[in-house]
């Protein structure tokens, strides 16, 4: 199968591209705008054709989609804190970008997978969200992702586009940009920087190893029913404070580095997904959180070539804006 993987230079997209090219023999074309989060290095070991462009640009999409059998859309602005500070790009990429891709897929009668998030359901105190739960997003990030999901659903319903939506829980693993909780805490622990825990740190996330998510998206692509959404939730839930403590233990860093900082505005307390529907397609998670976290810490420890340019570049200014303090100088 020839796949157009949009946002394939990012964390989950590059993992998906690697698995599809290596294990399924798919031809992979990556279309990526290369924002701060897009890194061609993440595709060093992936057989692919690269097209530099934005999903909201019909000419770039038209060039990249030539000969494709299906489109899988990972491209998005993905960080909640950045969406609170500057929502503009979130609206453009998630809304206009998804629209341009849907039109291109519709014109050509292509199968389409929209990669989405559990955050579209909002926060849940107890129990887990199913695909029939109402969408109640709370941040500009999750609201624009929910808007994109609704647009995708309308193309399936109105035009009969063979579109499926795949909603993952919090993913973690190699190649994740260190603005997100786990890689941020791992790199700070390795460098002796403070580990900034928002509020009381008792927010709960449902952790999903990135390869498990990528395989789930593959199941939805191959076997998903048009017009359906599929939740892909990780096997374990964990409060942030415990995640951070485990990272301190795995890196051997001091507990003194842990620091409570002001909470994120509108912070969702808990996410939890029921994944029964995707299990009917034969998917199940393979990596428990304890094992995946250990693998992830080892990967960051061994792959400074990947994160060093990030930690010494634009990220430093972002970090200072976000946390009001500088990272320790690169050693």
Q: Which positions lie near ligand TYD, rule CB under 6 A?
A: 80, 170, 180-181, 184, 196-198, 203, 205, 240, 264
| Enzyme catalytic residues | 118-119, 141
Nearer to ligand TYD, 205 or 246 (CB): 205
CB 188, CB 257: distance < 8 Å: yes
Question: What backbone torsions phi and psi does residue 120 show, to the nearest 5 degrees?
Answer: -65, -25
117 binds ligand NAD (CB under 6 A): yes
CA distance 113 to 52: 20
Closest distance to ligand TYD from the beta carbon of 314 (Å): 16
> Which structure tokens are listed for 18?
């690697």
240 makes contact, choosing from ligand NAD, ligand TYD, none, with CB < 5 to 8 Å by partner type, with ligand TYD
CB of 7 to ligand TYD, least distance (A): 16
Residue 86 has a CB neighbour count (10 Å cut-off) of: 11
Measured CA to CA, the distance from residue 62 to residue 320 in angstroms comes to: 39
The CB-of-264 to ligand TYD minimum distance in angstroms stands at 6
Mark 243-272 with x for binding to ligand NAD (rule: CB under 6 A) and - for no binding: ------------------------------
Within a 10 A sphere around the Cβ of 77, how many other Cβ atoms? Answer: 23
Least distance (Å) from ligand TYD to the CB of residue 308? Answer: 20
- Compute the distance between CA of residue 50 and CA of residue 77 in angstroms, rounded to an integer: 20
Site mask, ligand NAD, residues 79-108, x = CB under 6 A?
--------------x---x-----------
Measure CA 109 to chain center.
27
73 Cβ contact partners less than 8 Å away, ≥ 6 residues apart: 6, 7, 55, 98, 101, 112, 113, 114, 115
| Partner whose footprint covers residue 184, from ligand NAD, ligand TYD, none (CB < 5 to 8 Å by kind) | ligand TYD
Please provide residue 40's backbone torsions phi and psi, each rounded to the nearest 5 degrees: -65, -30
129 binds ligand NAD (CB under 6 A): no
Return residues touching ligand NAD (CB under 6 A).
Answer: 6-7, 9-13, 32-35, 37-38, 54-56, 74-78, 93, 97, 115, 117, 145, 168, 170-171, 177
């Amino acid at each position: 199968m020839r796949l157009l993987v949009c946002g394939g230079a990012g964390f989950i997209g590059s993992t998906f591209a690697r698995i599809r090219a290596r294990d399924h023999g798919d031809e992979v074309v990556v279309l990526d705008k290369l924002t701060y989060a897009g890194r061609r290095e993440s595709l060093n070991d992936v057989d692919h054709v690269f097209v530099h462009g934005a999903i909201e640009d019909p000419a770039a999409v038209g060039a990249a989609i030539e000969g494709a059998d299906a489109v899988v859309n990972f491209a998005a602005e993905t960080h909640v804190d950045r969406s609170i500070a500057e929502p503009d790009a979130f609206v453009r990429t998630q809304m206009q970008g998804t629209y341009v891709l849907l039109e291109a897929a519709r014109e050509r009668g292509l199968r389409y997978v929209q990669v989405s998030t559990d955050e579209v359901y909002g926060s849940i105190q107890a129990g887990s969200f199913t695909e029939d739960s109402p969408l109640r997003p709370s941040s500009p990030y999750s609201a624009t992702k929910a808007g994109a999901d609704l647009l995708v659903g309308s193309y399936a319903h109105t035009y009969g586009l063979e579109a499926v939506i795949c909603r993952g829980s919090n993913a973690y693993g190699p190649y994740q940009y260190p603005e997100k909780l786990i890689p941020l805490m791992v790199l700070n622990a390795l460098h002796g920087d403070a580990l900034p825990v928002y509020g009381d740190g008792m927010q709960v996330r449902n952790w999903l190893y990135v390869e498990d998510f990528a395989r789930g998206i593959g199941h939805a692509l191959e076997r998903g029913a048009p017009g359906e959404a599929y939740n892909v939730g990780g096997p374990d839930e964990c409060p942030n404070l415990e995640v951070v403590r485990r990272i301190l233990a795995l890196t051997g860093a001091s507990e003194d580095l842990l620091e409570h900082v002001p909470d994120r505005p509108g912070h969702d307390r808990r996410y939890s997904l029921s994944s029964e529907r995707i299990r009917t397609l034969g998917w199940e998670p393979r990596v428990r959180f304890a094992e995946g976290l250990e693998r992830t810490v080892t990967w960051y420890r061994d792959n400074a070539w990947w994160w060093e340019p990030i930690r010494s570049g634009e990220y430093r200014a972002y970090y200072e804006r976000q946390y009001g303090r500088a990272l320790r100088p690169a050693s």
